[in-house]
Amino acid sequence: MFRKLQQIAIRFEEIERNLTTPDILSSPQLMRDLMKERKNLEPVALAYATYCRLEKELSDALSILGEAGLDISLRELATSECENIRRQMQDMEQELRRLLIPRDENDDKNVVVEIRAGAGGEEAALFAYDLFRMYSMYATANGWKIEPMSSNPTELGGFREVSFLVVGEGAYARMKYESGVHRVQRVPKTESQGRIQTSTVTVAVLPEAEEVEVTINPSDIEIETLKSSGAGGQHINKTESAVRIYHKPSGIVVFCQEERSQFKNRDKAMRMLRAKLYEAEQQKQNDVVTSTRKSQVGTGDRSEKIRTYNYPQSRITDHRIGLTVFRLESFMNGDINEILDALITADTTEKMKAREDEN
């Protein structure tokens, strides 16, 4: 581990020097690449520098203890200092092990989120809207931007399905834990007898792929333009601004109608298609690597029930880690960090254990 840390520290210093050279300063692409690498290495390099400083302080304290004729009070002070430094070094070593876990290459990407009503009819569609609202508020709180892509609204204000793009640094790192089946238990607005109904909504979170990561052959796609549907005043159903793209090799179909401009809808539809193709390729690679232990927390299968929202008890339970919190109102208003932080901690712990088992 420490040999790898030394290599990271050397590379970090090398990048620091290179960032001030004329060749790098004159090349925006090289500058971006180095800045990105620097950002990834910086937490490890700084933590390792702290560990080295503690190691030096321990060596100095032990040297004092080794001096002949040392005063008793000074010896006690030096002994206490050694114990304190050793505790700090143990904590820092644990932190370094955590930082050395291979980082998900998609963590800094924007995400495409798809929410679909499942079992429960109109009530499921209403809860799909509630989740869309929750994620929108969470994104705003993080300084991210929401860009609607497509939606299929119901008369009561729900969504049979809705897709949107979350634009912001680190969006995938946190949103990826939302993939799966979300179950709601509450009295529906459509229920006159006051009986609790259980409904489900499926959420898919896909990292947005860049053009260089996914190559789409123009001959492999069919693009169709059509009139938008839904609320929108006179513009709706009068101009063919909506875009549907069919990718023939994979059978994937994407649709976007949220923009008034056909060009903008086409751009968003292509971004959605790239995300879906990228996810499919990643899944293929994951299926091949069967010898590698995978985290059981992670992003989860989208068919897996991951969370239950119980309105009568104001309770949210995440089934992957067995965590229950009793503050449903604030949670549905976008304050979801408590559960996301717990999921990230559990995921990191499992990855650390898997890494230790491999070693």
87 three-state secondary structure:
helix
Average pLDDT of 243-247? Answer: 93
In this structure, CATH architecture of domain 111-208+313-352 = 2-Layer Sandwich (3.30)
Q: Provide the CATH topology of domain 2-99.
A: Methane Monooxygenase Hydroxylase; Chain G, domain 1 (1.20.58)
Calpha distance 121→100 (Å, rounded): 46
Query: Who wins on pLDDT, 120 or 293?
Result: 120
In this structure, which amino acid lies at residue 12? F
Query: Who wins on pLDDT, 68 or 135?
Result: 135
In the numeric block, the tokens 């009503």 are attached to 117
In this predicted structure, the answer to whether residue 150 has a pLDDT above a threshold of 60 is: yes
List of residues 6+ apart from 15 with CB closer than 8 A: 34, 37, 38, 41
Query: Which H helix or E strand runs over 182?
Result: strand 180-186
> How buried is residue 144: exposed, middle or buried, by Cβ count under 10 Å (0-12/13-18/19+)?
buried
Tens-place pLDDT, residues 182-203: 999 999 877 767 789 999 999 9
The residue ranges of every structural domain in the chain are 2-99, 111-208+313-352, 218-288
Number of H helices, E strands in the chain: 9, 11
Q: What's the whole-model pTM score?
A: 0.73
Assigned token pair, 285:
């690679």
63 three-state secondary structure:
helix
- Whether the domain at 2-99 and the domain at 218-288 fall into the same CATH topology: no
Q: How confident is the model at residue 282 (pLDDT cuts 50, 70, 90)?
A: confident
Tens-place pLDDT, residues 291-300: 333 444 544 4
Calpha distance 208→206 (Å, rounded): 6
The class of domain 218-288 in CATH terms is alpha beta
List of residues 6+ apart from 248 with CB closer than 8 A: 220, 221, 222
Q: How confident is the model at residue 51 (pLDDT cuts 50, 70, 90)?
A: very high
Assigned token pair, 86:
């050793």
311 three-state secondary structure:
coil
Assigned token pair, 13:
């210093």
